[in-house]
Homo-oligomer: A and B are copies of this chain.
């Protein structure tokens, strides 16, 4: 047991931090200004020049596609190696897109890399890896319990050399993005099959007739532009049969494979986000002096800072352990460890950010700090990709199962 990162990872961490200090942090203000101008002009669904410039720089610096383990397309990092890098991306949010490591593209690229045909890879994985296009993941539906794959109502029906898709999805993150060109959609090819082989996944180019972004969804009051979240309808959408991924009835299997990495990336970023919130809280506490004494001298503030430090470090170790597990025994065998961090990390981040907001008063909830938006992101992950309750139920079952075997 050794808790330090490898020299290679430490060196990469330093390079990424250097990039953040030199390029990302100075760009944050410009990004906000460009987006504000877009919003004022009535269309926030546009790409900023500053992000395009950041992407070019990061790509040139070789800080690119670091998320993909065990693949030549990636940077040769294990999940465990990637953790401290991804944490930085959570701490400085522009970094993820700048380095082509942002959701849902990472998960979608991983799906294409693991399960795509050479043709599918050439057509969609290549431009995604190059950062030329972006993508969406259309799984959740408005009318049913998203955590239960058996309730999916979207249909994918074979018709000669094509599949015809009818259904309605929401929380398709990235769909409003003008760079988004491809959606990975989950639907049912055979509603009469066994519960977990009814579903398939298929590639749907966003410009296919019948695909309609019905509206964008706000998160608390944020639009999350230019990325965003959308409700998307699919009406008699025809795509070639070759767009199917892996085979009919294997949608649930792909979903399971996709969700593990997606979940742990969220958690890695949440650790970084919480670190930034704690930093902001400490800095604020040192300068704010109600009643003549800095907040940092007050026991209540120190207690919260201490508890925040404990919560963050605990969550980080749990995340690292889950990453280590995924590397050693595979995503499927690591399901308990992944479920544990999926419960622990967002709750931790909500708590730490909440304390930081409270230390900031009004500045903590308005546009003057990133805290309020951080909170909403952390809060959302308490149900996105499976709500806490479903994960806890699964962890509880797995824990109990140990005592059902004859050996015990």
A residues engaging B (CB < 8 A)? 1-6, 40, 42, 80, 140, 142, 145-148, 151, 170-171, 217-223, 229, 278-279, 282-283, 285-286, 288-292, 296, 298-307, 309-310, 313-315, 317-318, 320-321, 324, 339-340, 343-344, 357-358, 361-368, 372-373, 375-376, 379-380, 382-384, 387-397, 399-400, 402-404
Contact = CB atoms under 8 A, between A and B. Distances in A.
A350 to B, nearest CB: 9
A201 to B, nearest CB: 20
A9 to B, nearest CB: 8
A396 B399 CA distance: 27
Given A302-B400, A344-B314, A358-B382, A290 B147 contact: yes
A218 B217 contact: no
Contacts of A366: 217-219, 229
Nearest to A384: B362
A362 B310 contact: no
A392 B314 CA distance: 15
Contacts of A218: 221, 366-367, 372
A399 B145 contact: no
A131 to B, nearest CB: 27
A291 B221 contact: no
Contact of A361 (B151, B221, B278, B383): B383
Given A310-B395, A315-B314, A220 B217 contact: no
B318 A313 contact: yes
Contact of A365 (B220, B288, B306): B220
Contacts of A221: 218-223, 372-373, 376
Given A42-B42, A286-B404, A324-B1, A362 B399 contact: no
Contacts of A222: 220-221
Nearest to A304: B396
A252 to B, nearest CB: 14
Contacts of A390: 290
Given A3-B321, A296-B396, 8 more contacts: A148-B292, A217-B367, A221-B223, A221-B376, A283-B403, A304-B396, A306-B340, A310-B395
Max chain B C-beta neighbours (<10 A), residue from A6, A300, A391: A300
Contacts of A396: 296, 301-306, 309
Nearest to A396: B302
Given A283-B403, A358-B387, A393-B303, A220 B373 contact: yes
Max chain B C-beta neighbours (<10 A), residue from A146, A279, A390, A395: A395
Given A343-B310, A389-B300, A393-B299, A399 B217 contact: no
Nearest to A313: B318
Contacts of A383: 358, 361-362, 364
Max chain B C-beta neighbours (<10 A), residue from A217, A219, A389, A404: A389
A218 B373 CA distance: 11
A147 to B, nearest CB: 5
Contact of A324 (B3, B291, B399): B3
A261 B378 CA distance: 35
27 contacts: A1-B3, A1-B324, A3-B320, A145-B291, A145-B361, A146-B361, A219-B372, A220-B221, A220-B376, A221-B372, A286-B403, A300-B300, A300-B303, A304-B396, A305-B400, A306-B340, A310-B343, A313-B318, A314-B315, A358-B382, A358-B383, A358-B387, A358-B389, A361-B383, A362-B384, A365-B376, A365-B380
